[in-house]
Structure formats: C-alpha cells, structure tokens
Structure 1
Amino acid sequence: MIAKLSGLVDTVGTDFCIIDVGGVGYLVQGSSRTLGALPGQGEAARLHIETIVREDAITLYGFATVAERDMYRLLTSVQGVGAKVGLAILSALSPTEVENSIAAQDAKSITRANGVGPKLAQRIVNELKDKVAGIVAASPKGVAVNGAAAPAASQAGIIGDAVSALVNLGYRPTDAHGAVVKAAKELGEEATLGKLVPAALRELSA
C-alpha cells in the first residue's frame, strides 16, 4: 500500500500528475488545488497518497497536505461521494472551508463543486455534521463559561450561539463559523460568548 510519494514532477495534467520516483513514473489523480501547488517539471515534490485497490485497477490519489487527504477520506465515506466527486469538492473548497460548511450546515457552499447537487450536498452535511462537530469542539481549547473551563459540549454550544448571532447580522453561515472558530482559538479560556462575537466580527472585517 502506497502512503506517500517523493520524487520529481514529470507531468501535470488537468486532473492528474506523474511523479518520477527512481525512474518509475506513478500516475496520481488529484484535486486542482493539489495539482496547482506542485512545482515545475523536474523539481522535487511530495504527495500524501490514498491507494484504492479494485479488481481491475490500482488507483493513486494524491494530496498536498494531510488535512486534504483526511477530508477526502471523510467525504468519500458518504454514500454517493465517489473519488471524482471527493476531488471535485476539494478543488472547489479547501479542507477548512469544507469543515466550516458542514459545521455551519451550509449545504449551498458545497454545491459549488462540479457534480454536487443540492440533495447530495445536504446528505454530506447531514452525515458528517457530528464528525466535524467533534473536531471543531476540540479545537478551541478551554472555552470558558462564567469564567470556568467548559466541556466540549458547552464549547460547541457557545460556538453555535456565536455563529447564530453573526448569521442574524447577515453573514453567511460558513464565513461566520470560520471567524468564530478562529476567534475562539485566539481567546482561549477567555472565549465567553460576550467576547467571542465581537472578536469574530473583527475577523470578518479584517
């Protein structure tokens, strides 16, 4: 099983690249985001690889970052999201944008990807919301409630309340969620709801 490739860039196409590793060229499928980040022909590159083995083929999918690879795995765990759709989503949105869209229940943002209609986008949001919520709740360490460190569930509640407040002010759910999570990380233990909303507003206006 191939997990990583380090070699020289031989060819870059619209949805694939060839990486020369010791004289052997590996054909790797990738998102436009990953392929666009590759260096020029003949230069050194490294890709994190997801290997899919089927009876008639062994296919390599490459990712510039571990975060992108992990989000790909998460997306393709949803029924109806195959390899091509997973790459299309990661071509249209960064892993962080996908995470924020799911956490904010913003299915419309995911329809920006080619081949993803409203029904599939909603299924992605519905099936992955709990998995993404666990990641988000754990990321802003020590969010405080009444001055005391809160458990993950309360952290998620504060984040949700702050996002709702920003959405009521007219901000898109995905943008609001991203700003709130970033503000919560910076505030740490001081991230009460009263401080979180103004801090997130500053992030949005930056």
Structure 2
Amino acid sequence: MISFVKGILEYMTEEWIIVDVNGIGYKIGIPSSAVSKLPSIGKEVKIFTHLQVKEDEMALYGFLSQDELNMFERLISVSGIGPKGALGILSTLSPADLCMAVITEDIKTLSSAPGIGKKTAQRMILELKDKINTLEAIGMGGEPVLELQQNGTAEEAIVALAALGYSRVEAAKAVNDVFKEDMSVEDIIKAALKKLALF
C-alpha cells in the first residue's frame, strides 16, 4: 500500500525514525544497521516501506534498499518470525549474507542474529531455500558462489574450513575466490586459508 516514503528526516533512534512528508510525520521501524547510513537530521531521505496491519495497530517498517525490503518480506513469511525478529536479523546480516547463509545452509551464521536459535535457523533454510537463488545473492552484492553441491572437491574444502571454525558463508566465499578446476582439496583449503587470513 505504501511502497516508499520520501521526505525530511526529523528524528532517529536505533530502532525507528520519523520522516516528515509534507507536514505529516511517519514513524518507521528500521534495522539498527541502517542508522549509520542515514543522512543527518534535516536532510531528505527515501525509505522503502512495508505496512503491517493488525486488528489493533498499523506499523511501518523501512529500509534503505529494495533488496532489504524484499528480504524483510520473505523473513516475515517464515512461521515464527515477526517484523521485530526480521528487523533484528537484518540488523545483523546483510541481504546478500542472508541469501548466502540460506543457500549454503549455514545454521551458525543464521543463529548469530538475535533471537534466532538452531530450530528457527533450520526453519528459515527450509522455508526460504526455494525462494532464494545464487544469482539473486550475486545481484545483492554477494560474492558469486559455485554450484557447490555439484562440485565435490569444492564442497569438501568448504566442509573442512567449516570444521576449522569458519562459517559456511565465509568458507564458500573464500573457496569461490580461489577455486580452479584442476585444484586438489588440499590446494583449495591452503589457498582459501590465505584468503581468509587477509580479512
């Protein structure tokens, strides 16, 4: 119903902002990660929004990009995740990292978001995997990822790196950066570890 709000940023906290649109102040819930990217008070801002309507209240949730809004709407479609939970997840993980975590079934990364335990992370993977693809993650600024499940050598290297304590997202990105068809698992792991050491 309200696709975006464009106006003057009047007030902000870690959890919400007020945008003045022609003399009407819209209170909009935001992920805390957006605060540092917002313009200063008194400047114009454009926020992509989702209107949540319940019997007893209406609430606007806003994002600086369409990708974040799209991911928010997918997250609230997962049973057990409401708007505040989805904001918490997007405060911790970017849309690209979230996509990668779902694609690679990285429960550890998903569980790093506040209020997300192992069971909820597993449910997120189950319910979102068919709605997210690798090309979309690339489009969101994520690193391109090999069709890892189809490449046994790459997958073995990722599993080994995960066993060393790296998340599957970190491991998949590093393997993708260094992978060449003729490399052995050991070569991939060594090259990926060098890459990870640079971060």
Aligned partners of 1:156, 1:34: CA distance in 2, in Å? 32
- In angstroms, what is the RMSD of aligned CA positions? 2.9
SS of equivalent residue, structure 1 residue 28 = strand
Contact 1:32 1:91 in 2 (8 A): yes
Identity within the alignment, %: 33
Contact 2:96 2:137 in 1 (8 A): no
Give the match for residue 22 of structure 1. Answer: 22
Aligned partners of 1:168, 1:60: CA distance in 2, in Å? 43
- Tell me the amino acid that sits aligned with residue 162 of structure 1: A
Give the match for residue 122 of structure 1. Answer: 122
Give the match for residue 32 of structure 2. Answer: 32
- Please list every run of 5 or more consecutive structure 2 residues that lacks an aligned counterpart in the other structure: 139-145
Name the CA shift for 1:131/1:161 in 2 (closer, same or farther; >3 Å).
farther
Name the CA shift for 1:76/1:3 in 2 (closer, same or farther; >3 Å).
same
Give the match for residue 50 of structure 1. Answer: 50
Residue 170 (structure 2) pairs with residue 178 (structure 1): no
Superposed, which structure 2 residues align to 1:130-169 within 5 Å? 130-132=130-132, 135-136=133-134, 155=147, 157-158=149-150, 162-169=154-161
Aligned partners of 1:193, 1:71: CA distance in 2, in Å? 37
TM-score (norm 2): 0.79
Aligned partners of 2:12, 2:151: CA distance in 1, in Å? 41
SS of equivalent residue, structure 1 residue 113 = coil
Give the match for residue 67 of structure 2. Answer: 67
Residue 88 (structure 2) pairs with residue 88 (structure 1): yes
Contact 1:76 1:83 in 2 (8 A): yes
Number of residue pairs matched by the alignment? 185
Which is worse superposed, 74-83 or 48-57? 48-57
Using the TM superposition, give the Cα deviation of residue 126 of structure 1 relative to its aligned residue in structure 2, in angstroms. 2.2
Contact 1:162 1:193 in 2 (8 A): no
Using the TM superposition, give the Cα deviation of residue 28 of structure 1 relative to its aligned residue in structure 2, in angstroms. 0.3
Give the match for residue 108 of structure 1. Answer: 108
SS of equivalent residue, structure 1 residue 126 = helix
SS of equivalent residue, structure 2 residue 105 = coil
- Tell me the amino acid that sits aligned with residue 136 of structure 1: T
- Tell me the amino acid that sits aligned with residue 6 of structure 1: K
SS of equivalent residue, structure 1 residue 17 = strand
Name the CA shift for 1:100/1:7 in 2 (closer, same or farther; >3 Å).
same
SS of equivalent residue, structure 1 residue 39 = coil
- Please list every run of 5 or more consecutive structure 1 residues that lacks an aligned counterpart in the other structure: 141-153
- Tell me the amino acid that sits aligned with residue 123 of structure 1: R
